[in-house]
Amino acid sequence: MVSSPRPAGQRGRGPSPVRLGRSPRVSGPWCRSSVRGMTLSELIIYCFLMGMLVTAVYSVLVLSQRYLRISQASLDLQAYAQRAVAHLSHDIADSRYSTVTAGSGVVTMLSPRDANDNMVRDASGNLYWQKWIEYYLANGCLVRCESPITPTITPPTTPPDTFPPGTVIAQDVSTFAVGTQPTSQSVSLQIGFSTSVLSPGDTYINAITDAVCPRN
């Protein structure tokens, strides 16, 4: 403990000693901490608001995923439809109307194109018919088959009973109908597509129709 020196000429009791190494203690109701906890009602309201926020965010994510899948399904079906119509239109346009045979979910036709996809003609410009082509619907797939024949200028009229295994042209095909129109000497096409987006009952459907005129 250290005492302050008494000034010269000063009488009486000197100043109180000052204690070193210890902070003065302050007490009183005004010194309470300003930090307090949450009441039960505040906690319930907070949890309710957070639940609403999480639900809203989850709903937005679900809708975004749904729209994304619908858009992708639409693009896939459009690509299948364009590919199927392109192949069918190409083969029917190369064929002759008299050789096109349409049935339930199946169509056959002659083709003048060889294995290299070239058309061969004789000296008079007549085409050599090279093969039969068949399209049919099986298990939601549109299949294209080829059956080569001996090249001939006179087109045969009867397709073979069986075709070799073919190539899948399009998937998710629900309907496939081909009809011949004698008046206009054309061939009508109707192809329907459907696919499940998120569940078996949630499907996206697309349909396309077209008419092609083969050689006469």
Q: Which of 168, 212, 171, 169 lies closest to 190 in space, CA to CA? A: 212
- d(Cα 98, Cα 109) in Å, to the nearest integer? 9
**Buried b / exposed e across 145-160, counting CB within 10 Å, b at 16+?**
bbbeeeeeeebeeebe
Residues of the chain with pLDDT under 70: 1-36, 197-204, 216
Q: Which pLDDT value is given to residue 79?
A: 83
Backbone angles phi, psi at 161, to 5 degrees: -70, -35
Digit-coded pLDDT (tens) for 190-201: 888 887 765 555
Whether the full predicted model's pTM is greater than 0.75, yes or no, is no
